[in-house]
Structure 1
Amino acid sequence: MATTKEIAAAVKAAARKRVPSKKGSSPHGRRWLSFLEAQGGQPFRRQDFAEVVYQNIRPRKMDTAREIADFYMERARSAGEIVKAGHVHWKQLMTNQRKLLSGRTVADAPDLCELKLTTRCPSKWVAVDLETGDVYGSDITGSGWKRATYDAAAEAATILSGAADKANEELRAQVAQLTKERDLFLEGVNLVSSIALEELSQ
C-alpha cells in the first residue's frame, strides 16, 4: 500500500509538470503508457499505436501519427522495454513489476483491473498514478476519471503534505514515548541489580 509521503511526492511532481508543445509531448506519452497497459504481453504493430494517436491530433494526419508512434517505440526499444516479435510486430517485455517514483517496486496484477468509486461528490476525489506522477479527477457530472486541473493537483499536494507532516509528528511522538519507556525500564533494571548486589555483599 502506498504511503502518504509517496502519494504527496507524486502529486507534487504532477503539480509542477509543464506540458511541452513539441512532438512526443506528455499527452502522447500518457497515451503510449495506456496503450502498453492495455496490450500487456500481446504483440502489436506500429500502426496500432499510430491509430490511437491519429484520433487525438489536430489536424489529423496519419504521417504525423506514425512519426509520433516511431518516437515512442524507438525510445521504448532503446530502453529495452519492447522487442521485435515478427516482421512488423513488437512485444512489450513484461517484468510483472513496476518501479514507482519513490523507488519502491510493486507487482502487476495478472489481468487488467477496473477501479470503481461510488460517491455523491465526484469532484472531491483525485487519483494519483505513483509510477508516472499523473493526477486524475472528476467533475460534478461524475463522467469518469480525467486529467486533474493544475489547481486540483496542487490542492491534493497541499493536503497530502499536511497529512505526511502529521504522520511524521505522530511517529516522532511514538518514538519519544518508546524511548521514555525504555529508559524507565532500564532504570528499573539498574535499581533491581543494585539492590541484589547490596544483598549479596551483606
Structure 2
Amino acid sequence: MTRNVHDCKLESVETMIKDLGAGVVSVWEGLRPITKKMLEGVMSAGINTPPTNSAQKFSYDAHADWELSRLLTALDEQTKKGSNADILHEIAQLAETCASVLEAQSGSAEVFIQLAERAIKQHNYNKLDKLADRLSERFSSGEIAEIVRQTDVPQIRAIAYETLALLPIPSILPLLDDPLYSDIAANALEQKAYEYDSEEARDLLDQLDLGNEIRSD
C-alpha cells in the first residue's frame, strides 16, 4: 500500500520533535493532527511562500491559535535551557514557523503580547513594526484595548494605544460603555484629539466631561 507523502513528511517532523526536549514533546503530542499537518505544510513550503497561504489550506481556528501559542512558549523555554547547535537550529526553525503563522492568522490579544514581547527580547524592531501593522489590519477595537489592559510593557502599550487612537471614532465608542475598557477608550480619544488633532474627538471628550459633571451633581 502506497503511503501518503504528506504523512511521511509529518513523520520526519515527529522525529525531529523527539530531540527537542520533554516540554516540547509534551505540547506537540497534545496538538490535533490537523495542526501538526499545518505546521509541517508551512515548514515544507519554505520561506518563499507566505505562511498565510499555507495555513489557509487548513482550518485555522481559536484552538489552533492556542495550540501554536503553547508550542511557541515551550520552544522558547527550551532555547533558554541550551543544547547543541543542531538542536537549537531546529528549535529556532520550528519556533519561527509557529510565530509566522500566529502573526499572519491570530487576532488574539494574548498572542499579540507574546509575539511582541518575543520581538522586543530579540531586539527585532522590524518584526515589532510588522506586528503593529497587523494590529490595525486584523484586530478588533476590543482586542486592542485588551492588549493595553493585559500588558505592562511600555512599547506594547504605546503601539496598542496608538492603533486605538487611529481607529474611527465609531469603533472606539462602544468601549466607553465597557467598565473594563472605558478608561482605555477615553485615553485613546484624548490621544486622538490632541496628538492627531481630531476635532470630533475633542467634542466627544467635552461631552463626556459634561456628562460626568452632571452625574456628579
Q: TM-score range by the shorter chain?
A: under 0.3
Whose relative contact order is higher, 1 or 2, with alpha carbons under 8 Å and at least 6 apart?
Answer: 1
Q: Answer with 1 or 2: which has the greater Rg.
A: 1
**Structure with higher helix content:** 2
Which has the larger strand fraction? Answer: 1
- TM-score normalised to the size of structure 1? 0.26
